[in-house]
Amino acid sequence: MAEKKKEVVLRGIGVSPGVVVGSVYVLASKSTIVPEWDVPVSRVDAEFARFEDAIIETRRQISKIQKNLMESTTGRDAELFDAHLMILDDRTFLEDVIEGITERRKNAEIVVKDVLGKHIDTLSTVDDDYLRERVADLRDVSRRIISNLSGDSVSQLGKLNKRHIVVAADLAPSETAALRKDLVVGFATDQGSPTSHTALMARALEIPAIVGLHDVTRTVRSGDEILIDGNKGVLIINPKPNQLKKYGELAKARKTIERELTTLKEEPAETLDGHRIVLSANVEGSEEVDAVLQYGAEGVGLFRSEYLYMSQEKVVGEMEQAEVYTEVAERLSPAPLIVRTFDIGGDKSIFGEQSMEANPFLGCRSIRLALARPDEFKVQLRAILRASAVGNVKIMYPMICNVEEVISANDLLEEAKAELKASKVAFDDDIEVGIMVEIPSAALTADVIAEHVSFFSLGTNDLVQYTLAVDRVNEKVAYLYEPTHPAVLKLIKLTVDAGHKHGLWIGLCGEIASDPIIAPLLIGMGIDELSVPPSAVPLIKDAVRSVTLSQAKKLAEKSLKASEAAEVLGYCRRLTKEVAPELLELI
């Protein structure tokens, strides 16, 4: 009699929704050993030729991936690989490799590894989720060039000839993009985060996926049957019949709920007793406006302007920026567009310089970098002002820690206005200016800062991180990252009360804004606007429309007296179970 296999449940981070059951294909990690040998003078030109051929082949492969993505998903998804092509065309990279071959007399493989390795080491320390995730781009390009130099196959996925759930330590962005949906029905990885290209591609391809499982590659074997729930981040090895039945019914229920949520597009984000909040969207570029409109968001509460020029490591010109902001503002009008001024780390400067800092987490970044470079900052301010002629544009400064920074930034804004007036350029002279409250010192002095701005927007991801001294992407301390920690809630409430006292409206963005069980708590604490990813708008709207303001206030009152984060989550979950139990199936 065959031995019954034990059911094992693992929990990670669900990054692409859906439930799927299938046979495992474990993707073996490729060797990280890069061959190294000396190149005689007589073979240097031949080594240059090898490198050039590898670059050409790598460019061809990536262009093919982009073409396939254009046909199977969207242009936006294909654009994710523009950064790969830019690396291949980067003059500094190419010259550094050629110089390395010439001076070190080493083979191209080891030189490519060393040159890109320096950039990888630099970016890995940046206190910016997006930039840290771009390390995957550099690694992917480095691996692909080296594979093409040595004649190795880049991916083992080409060996698949039937449907599987792929399990791997990690997947390179190009590997994820090359997945065939008819053969790969889901994937799970040891590493990864919700902001990785792997996660983005999984969502674009609509493949259920879980990342951050730590040791799934050591727990499963090829041929095992597993179930993955991309909504909740649950992976079950050898699921029992009752689990299969349960998840089958759950998948059907989720599809029904999701269909019903689409009917809320034209409905307001309003509680049962008529209290209205603004439900906005976070976006990275003009191409996401379609999603904002599709899901029924009331404008853009956070436009991440740094994405315009991050990959170029320089400020995009004033007119080019203005064109983008204007296009988005016109498409959203009369709904608002809030442009956050560039939020980027000082150790990877967008101004063409690199400066290593001992602690970039607390270094020259965001508004600090902007104020250190007033001329470049005014380029962006003038661009935003030009777009403000549309009539619905607002400005938001990130990472403010004291009132002096706000005053300095506003002084530069006035200079930018004067320069445009001198050139007879139209703009909104009464443009609203706000700040992101993401440092405890800003929350604690919100009463003072409020006199100089029109609104606050609580950036809870960083506020939690700085309040609790927890790096949220550090697996060793991730358990301490608690958005409902009493200290965080008190800082939010302090900010709300200070802002309302001065007649300001208060927004909130970050992961907790997208959590439907926490939304009622935020409303009860006095938040006026929630800004979430476009696709999360229907879910949060349903949560808002399922409670009364009175219920939300009672929840907030109890939560602010709680002593533990788990206690707060318990209150939130109980209210959701009472008013909208169907939402618990989607989170």
Distance in angstroms (rounded) separating the CA atoms of residues 115 and 118: 6
Half-sphere exposure of 394 (CA within 13 A, CB side): 24
Q: Which amino acid is at 25?
A: Y
Distance in angstroms (rounded) separating the CA atoms of residues 147 and 150: 5
Given the structure tokens 């002629």, which residue do they identify? 389
Cβ density class 198-237: b for 16+ within 10 Å, e for less: bbbbbbbbebbbbbbbeebbebbeeebbbbbbbbbbbbbb
Pairing of strands 13-16, 209-211: antiparallel
Tally of residues, the chain: 587
Please, what's the largest Cα pairwise distance for the chain? 89
Half-sphere exposure of 483 (CA within 13 A, CB side): 22
Active-site residue among 84, 164, 401, 509? 509
**Could you give the dihedral angle defined by the CA atoms of residues 316, 320, 322 and 324, in that order, rounded to the nearest 10 degrees?**
-100
**C-alpha closest to that of 543 among 256, 203, 229, 279:** 279
Distance in angstroms (rounded) separating the CA atoms of residues 501 and 119: 47
Active-site residue among 84, 119, 197, 485? 197
DSSP secondary-structure letter at 169?
A: S
Evaluate whether 525 touches 556 at the Cβ level (below 8 Å).
yes
Evaluate whether 7 touches 237 at the Cβ level (below 8 Å).
yes
Evaluate whether 482 touches 488 at the Cβ level (below 8 Å).
yes
**Residue 208, both tokens:** 């259920």
DSSP secondary-structure letter at 89?
A: H
Evaluate whether 315 touches 309 at the Cβ level (below 8 Å).
yes
Q: Is 401 a catalytic residue?
A: no
Distance in angstroms (rounded) separating the CA atoms of residues 339 and 473: 26
Burial grade of 487 (CB within 10 A; 0-12, 13-18, 19 or more)? middle
Evaluate whether 535 touches 262 at the Cβ level (below 8 Å).
no
Distance in angstroms (rounded) separating the CA atoms of residues 342 and 165: 39
The backbone torsions φ and ψ at residue 415, rounded to the nearest 5 degrees and listed phi first, read -65, -40
**Residue 502, both tokens:** 């001065």
Evaluate whether 330 touches 300 at the Cβ level (below 8 Å).
no
Segments in 178-223 forming alpha helices (H): 197-205, 216-219
Cis peptide before 440 (omega within 30 of 0): no
Pairing of strands 13-16, 234-237: unpaired
Q: Is 197 a catalytic residue?
A: yes
Termini Cα distance of the chain: 40
* Catalytic residue annotation: 197, 509
